[in-house]
Homo-oligomer: A and B are copies of this chain.
């Protein structure tokens, strides 16, 4: 059974001795064919022989060589994960979801951080293709179209997660920003608010535009106004949220709710209102977007906010990739619905105040 044993191929400079199938066969007093049968569980063997081989293999720390197996099977049981954003906070839940789905399928994930640099990404891509990955996930942190990854006609299947490309043959999984915006505004309307403003990020982000469009659709459904004076685009920062909310409330005392395009914006807005004596949610209700617990659980009051369910999105991406690897075909842009996490800032009936008591916080 040539090819199973890599012992002969190991260069003399390697100081660690790795047990080979020959070592196990010699120590157990059987042929290498018998070792292979015993460890794979295939073929007929007497139970005591199988047991003896297992015991010897364990004693010698012998591990069947996946590389040799891969060559015979034509699959590597690895996939590549090409991220463009290993600094942003969206990456963590997305990565965790992808890794979970792959781990369940006993597939290993190669992590490659392109950092948004096309030449670096190209280099990573070449390396992944040379390793013959079974599939590739391109992960990002925004929904604006990016260049397609070129793997050639013989390349592995590719999928985009929290990233999108204009190529109509591509499969892209992104959060449904429109539905998320609609959900936030509908929730505020259901809580009795009628004069709702919007503070969000730069207009060049598809996410900002889609969330705003969703809010507009919800207000139109209820025949509610949305004058441009109640819309503020700015940076995705807490400082802008603070500033925009302060201006809105000074200019237009009728405003009774603000939907913020991110949790950081919402945090700034809540602080600005509190410091001006405007009560949240009694006078002005606030809904954020992200459900980033480090922000949303610590605003005063705790923040009601839209959750993009990023870990679930990552898990879905992993499962779709397995489909593609097995030859199924999926194309198009799939938008995963957002959900709403109700805390206290929206003033809705379902809202619960923060339950953490002082006692839980203190160890003097």
Tell me if B234 and A361 are in contact (CB < 8 A): yes
The answer to whether B298 and A63 have CB atoms under 8 Å apart is no
Q: Which residues of B contact A93 (CB under 8 A)?
A: 87
Q: Report the minimal beta-carbon distance from A312 to chain B, rounded to whole angstroms.
A: 14
Q: How far is the CA of A60 from the CA of B340 in the complex (A)?
A: 50
- Interfacial residues of chain A within 98-140, with CB under 8 A of chain B in the complex: 99-100, 103, 106, 108-113, 115, 120, 123-124, 127-132
Which A residues from 71 to 111 make CB contacts under 8 A with B?
Answer: 71-76, 78, 81, 86-89, 91-93, 95-96, 99-100, 103, 106, 108-111
- Report the minimum CB–CB distance from A326 to chain B (whole Å): 9
Q: Are A67 and B71 in contact (CB under 8 A)?
A: yes
Contacts of A112 in B (CB 8 A): 99, 103, 108-109
Closest Cβ of chain B to A130, distance in Å, is: 5
The stretch from A13-21, A26-34, A158-166 touching chain B is A13-21
The answer to whether B86 touches A363, judged by C-beta atoms less than 8 angstroms apart, is no
Contact of A239 among B108, B120, B155, B356 (CB under 8 A): B356
Binds B, one of A4-12, A42-50, A187-195, A345-353: A4-12
Do residues A99 and B72 form an inter-chain contact, with CB atoms below 8 A? no
Across the interface, which residues of B come within 8 angstroms of A87, CB to CB? 92-93, 96
Q: Which of B109, B127, B294 contacts A110 (CB 8 A)?
A: B109
Residue A51 interfacial (CB < 8 Å): no
Q: Does A339 contact B (CB under 8 A)?
A: no
Please state if B9 and A73 are interface contacts (CB–CB under 8 Å).
yes
Does A203 have its Cβ within 8 Å of any Cβ on chain B? yes
Count of A interface residues, CB-CB < 8 Å: 84
Q: Would B111 and A127 count as touching, CB distance under 8 A?
A: no
The answer to the question of A64 belonging to the interface, with a C-beta cut-off of 8 Å to chain B, is: yes
Q: How far is the CB of A153 from chain B (nearest CB, A)?
A: 7
Known: A202-B363, A363-B234. A111 touches B153 (CB 8 A): no
Residues of B within 8 A of A153 (CB): 61
> Are A130 and B64 in touch, CB under 8 angstroms?
yes
Complex alpha-carbon distance, A91 and B83, angstroms: 15
Q: Judging by beta carbons under 8 Å apart, are A129 and B356 in contact?
A: no
**8 Å CB contact of A72 from B9, B78, B131, B154:** B9
- Which residues of chain B have C-beta atoms less than 8 A from A72's C-beta? 9
Are A89 and B89 in contact, with the CB atoms below 8 A? yes
Which chain A residues (173-211) contact chain B, with CB distance < 8 Å? 202-203
- Complex CA–CA separation, A123 to B110 (angstroms): 17
Which residues in B have their C-beta under 8 angstroms from that of A88? 92
Q: How far is the CA of A100 from the CA of B19 in the complex (A)?
A: 33
Q: Which among B14, B100, B106, B363 is the interface contact of A74 at CB below 8 angstroms?
A: B14
Chain B residue with the shortest CB-CB distance to A6: B71
Q: Is the CB of A63 within 8 A of B129?
A: yes
CB pair B99–A63 under 8 Å, yes or no, is no
Residues of chain B with a CB closer than 8 A to A67's CB: 67, 70-71, 76, 131-132
| A264 CB–B CB distance under 8 Å | yes
> Are the CB atoms of A111 and B110 closer together than 8 Å?
yes
Interface residue? A152 (CB, 8 A): yes
Residues of B within 8 A of A75 (CB): 14
Instruction: Pick the most buried of A76, A96, A264: most chain B CB atoms within 10 A of its CB.
Output: A96
Q: Closest residue of chain B to A361, judged by CB?
A: B240
